[in-house]
Amino acid sequence: MTDFLTPVRVAVPIERHSLLSDRRALALVTPDADVTWLCHPSPDSPALFAALLGGSGHFSVRPQKDQLPLGQRYAPGTMTVQTRWTGLQVTDHLAAGLVRTVEGRVPAAVEFAPRPDFGRVPVVLERVGDGLRVAGTSIFLRSPGVDWEIGDGVATAVIIPPLVLELDLGSPSEVDSDWPDWSASLRLPSVCPDLVLRSALTLRALCHRDTGAVLAAATTSLPEQIGGVRNWDYRYCWLRDAALTVQALVSLGSFAEATAFVDWFCGVLDSVPGPEVLSPLYTVRGTALGPEQVIDSLPGYAGSGPVRVGNLADSQVQLDVFGPIADLVHDLALAQGFLSDRSWDIVVSMVSAVSRRWHEPDHGIWEERHVPRHRVYSRVMCWQTLDRAIGLASRFGRSLDPAWPELRAVIAAEVLDRGWNPDVGAFTTAYDGTDLDAASLHVGLSGLLDPADPRFHATVVAVEETLRSGPTVYRYLRDDGLPGDEGGFHLCTAWLIEAYLRVGRRADAQELFESFVRLAGPTGLLSEEYDPVAERSLGNHPQAYSHLGLIRCARLLD
């Protein structure tokens, strides 16, 4: 087998990558129009281009004569990216493949280096008709009139604009071209409307059109610490993340993504013996993940290996997942003014799962690969499941099981008794320790505890003093069984902003929000985390959690 791998590439800052999406495929493009990430045939498939993770697979277009780009931006209301140099513009979008439109008055240098299966299979490029084909595949680069020079799995050329390069990936020909109309239909807040719109577009881009699944992020293995091992694959559908994502779109007036996710989730429910055994995450097709693997041939982003495919979290117990799903159904029903029988059946199933398992320890929202604990956040989400079910039954005249209010009260009483640590002066991570977790803010954010309660005020102060660092908030600072550190977590920053508002600290909320939005990249995208010391983004990119948190905060501040 030919070894196509090159030495580690210079790592472009994570936040400077722009996302392309046709809601079937996802790709990342650097500020100088180099496509360094694209998985095929679905977003959780092996990568065709993986230069992002230190491989050699990529597709670049730039001026023949070296010069720095003038800038990169999205066409308004779309997922189309425009990269500009003096005398040259490259416009990229996904539409049943990757379409690269080259315009201008100067020659452009093109390099096409596909590397299927993360570069683990040999590549032969052959001239076919008006372009190039990757031998033995359906991958075809239509490039009329281009005189390619083909080397060892790499094709290069100098082209004279205008020219359109179309990378046909063998996808269905139907094109999702309604981005501008969809954008115009949203109800945007007056606070940061442009950034909220970009966040909404990003969330929709992560919604898989063919199945209704929602990806947590577009990538795998972008590190939570440069040089560390906290590198995870987020190209799957977490039930929690997906519910929160489409719920954010519902809040802006778009219901189709939530409806599609509910359809997908019903299929998953039908595939398991009972709702209490749901996995935390699934593939976009709604199937179980295979075993977690390491791609040894890729050195990782900025040399930060290992590169992982799959995620062991699918075998964990995460008892909080039922709460966000019930909350989504609740908000969707209120927004639409009706509750379908199917949606009610979902809520009943979530309550059934909670009734059977709420008292168990679990691995929690952060998926710690450690001993399960009786976590405050998981208990709060179990309470939330019952609370939203009771609210829906009352609002829409559904039959209410008399055991539900009683169980809701039992869970609330336990959280308030065992979750509050008087020595710490805060609600802690779990019943068995003194460590803090930003997720415990949901004691007040969920409605379990009145935000005016002094215990919630004290928890907000404790999180601020212990977990906040400048413009970011850490999830926790405890030993979680893994080596190394991580950055502040953008979703936790959003939670603290909301908590500030709940306790009447609007000026603090406004100040933190303004610091938060300044961390977005040049095209408005947010990664998972931020290192306030090195002042750099970390983690997978773009991350749904980060964008849905921004949307919620902007709406609350409006």
pLDDT values of the chain reduced to their tens digit, one per residue, 558 residues: 233 333 345 799 999 999 999 999 999 999 999 999 999 999 999 999 999 999 999 999 999 999 999 999 999 999 999 999 999 999 999 998 999 999 999 999 999 999 999 999 999 999 999 999 999 999 999 999 999 999 999 999 999 999 999 999 876 656 557 999 999 999 999 999 999 999 999 999 999 999 999 999 999 999 999 999 999 999 999 999 999 999 999 999 999 999 999 999 999 999 999 999 999 999 999 999 999 999 999 999 999 999 999 999 999 999 999 999 999 999 999 999 999 999 999 999 999 999 999 999 999 999 998 899 999 999 999 999 999 999 999 999 999 999 999 999 999 999 999 999 999 999 999 998 999 999 999 999 999 999 999 999 999 999 999 999 999 999 999 999 899 999 999 999 999 999 999 999 999 999 999 999 999 999 999 999 999 999 999 999 999 999 999 999 999 999
The CATH code that applies to domain 186-557 is 1.50.10.10
| CA 439, 387, 284, 30 torsion-angle sign | negative
Beta strands at 149-150 and 81-85: parallel, antiparallel or unpaired: unpaired
The pTM of the full predicted model, rounded to 2 decimals, is: 0.97
Alpha-carbon span 197 to 420, nearest angstrom: 38
Alpha-carbon span 211 to 170, nearest angstrom: 18
Of 128, 155, 18, 164, nearest to 82 (Cα)?
Answer: 18
Cβ burial, residue 425 (10 Å; 0-12/13-18/19+): middle
Alpha-carbon span 486 to 272, nearest angstrom: 35
Residue type for 159, please?
A: I
Question: E-strand spans in 75-122?
Answer: 81-85, 88-94, 97-104, 108-113
| CA 184, 188, 191, 192 torsion-angle sign | negative
Is the separation of the CB atoms in 102 and 111 below 8 Å? no
> Would you state the structure tokens that stand for residue 67, as one six-digit string?
């010069």
3-class state of residue 268 by DSSP: helix
